[in-house]
Amino acid sequence: MKTILLTIGFAVFSIFGVMAQCPTSDLTIGSQAQLDNFKILYPNCTEFGHSITVDGPSITNLNGLSNLTKLYSLYLAYVDVTSLSALSNLVEVSNLGIAGCLSLTSLAGLEGLKRIEYGFMINESPIASLEPLSNVTFMGSLNLRASTLTNLHGLENVKEMMSLSLVSNPSLENIDAIDNVKFVDDRVLGEAYFRLELVQNDLLTDCSNEVVCHAALTDGAEYINWFVQGNGEGCTTKAQLKEMCIEALPVQLVNFEGMRLDNGNVQLTWATTSEVDSKSFEIQTGYNGRSWATIGKVNAQGQSGSTIQYTFTDKHPLNERNLYRLKMVDIDNTFTFSKIINVKNINVSEASIYPNPVTENVRIPGAELISSAKILDINGKEIYKSAGNPGSEISTKQLPAGVFILSLEKQDGSISRFKFVKK
């Protein structure tokens, strides 16, 4: 009996020990003593899934946060810190904001940071350089307001971004560092939102990069909200910016549309009015607007000053919504993307597959009604075929990372197809 009680007691202690590793809700820290106590009270807290707001001029260092490696949100407001060296263990954060920190001139200490999931903000703080962020590869959004930055050097390794806001940065001369950043369409079921603000950056004259031009060339799309005003000549109005972005394109695309055919296929059509050294159009489809795969390629005219029509047929579309975009490639292999279009099926299946993306097994909807199952690659090549009913799950361990099609034949002879992403 004593052994049983001791075992139960140890189990309870272990559970509460794990729970006490980190606070269980958001924190607002208003004094240096309170911040220092964080490390004392939670010495084993390294990954905190809530927000920390550090607010108050009496706070001069962040040493109490030095154990943190992952954090949902950190907001530094009007503190008197001069260094971020205490954050050197931080690898990933969803939101990071710095506002009114007048003694903070450097981001040194953030060199280990690799991913900022949602947003990075500097507001009225004299940060001199973004170079310490050189290891960040994904930044959901960038928001600079009343900063002293002259450029965005340090962000060259950022591959994807969902939103950009540059407002009242009087010294900002160029944004070349994010020329290769790709716009990420973060829509889930068509509800996402992309915001672009380029306002009152007096010295900024060239702002025609990938993220900015995505907004300019898809003006009017339901998920785009963008403002351009009061920057340097060439980037002062929406019209100027559109002109700069069009000049940078290998082709001038005048329309891109898709329609569902009676046989279930999706026909894509597009037209160009001008082509200079254009090479090809790669047709890409996306499961959720973030994971894209090339499903075909059409050679471009190359040189043309007249209207050229193009078509492509997707023979393996989704049952429900299908997102498409064109990757327009030049002869020197530079490229840009078209707007994203959504082609919906008029006969929407009530079933879905889960999980998606997939790591090990994909679950079969309505498995008891299925007579056979196939897995195809994005080009339609058969990768797997079941011998009769596949059961409730199919292993995907043998599949490489990418986009695949699950084709299910029901007992009544009807076929349903679903795209899924293998991680």
Domain 252-344 top-level CATH class: mainly beta
The number of residues in the chain equals 423
The set of residues, in sequence order, having a beta carbon less than 8 Å from that of 3 and lying 6+ positions away, is none
Q: What is the 3-state composition of the chain as percent helix, strand, coil, each rounded to the nearest 5?
A: 15, 40, 45
* Arithmetic mean of pLDDT over the chain: 82
Q: Rounded CA gap, 396 and 377, in Å? A: 12
Decide if pLDDT at 347 tops 60: no
DSSP 263-330: TS-EEEEEEEEEEESEEEEEEEEESSSSSEEEEEEEE--SEESS-EEEEEEESS--SSEEEEEEEEEE
Res. 16: pLDDT tops 50: no
Q: Is the pLDDT of residue 349 over 70?
A: no
* More confident of the two residues 286 and 38: 38
pTM above 0.85, yes or no: no
Helical segments of 162-276, H only = 210-217, 238-248
The neighbour count for residue 67, using CB atoms within 10 Å, is 17
Q: For the domain made up of 21-250, give the CATH fold.
A: 3.80.10
pLDDT tens column, 359-381: 888 888 777 888 889 888 876 77
pLDDT digits (tens, 9 = 90+) for 293-306: 889 999 998 888 78
- Taking residues 93-120, report their average pLDDT: 95
Residues of the chain with CATH 3.80.10.10: 21-250
Six-digit token pair at 154? 């340090």
Region 98-111 average pLDDT: 96
| Assigned CATH for 361-422 | 2.60.40
Report the C-alpha gap between 3 and 148 in whole angstroms: 66
Domain with CATH 2.60.40.10 in the chain: 252-344
129 burial level (CB within 10 Å; 0-12, 13-18, 19+):
middle
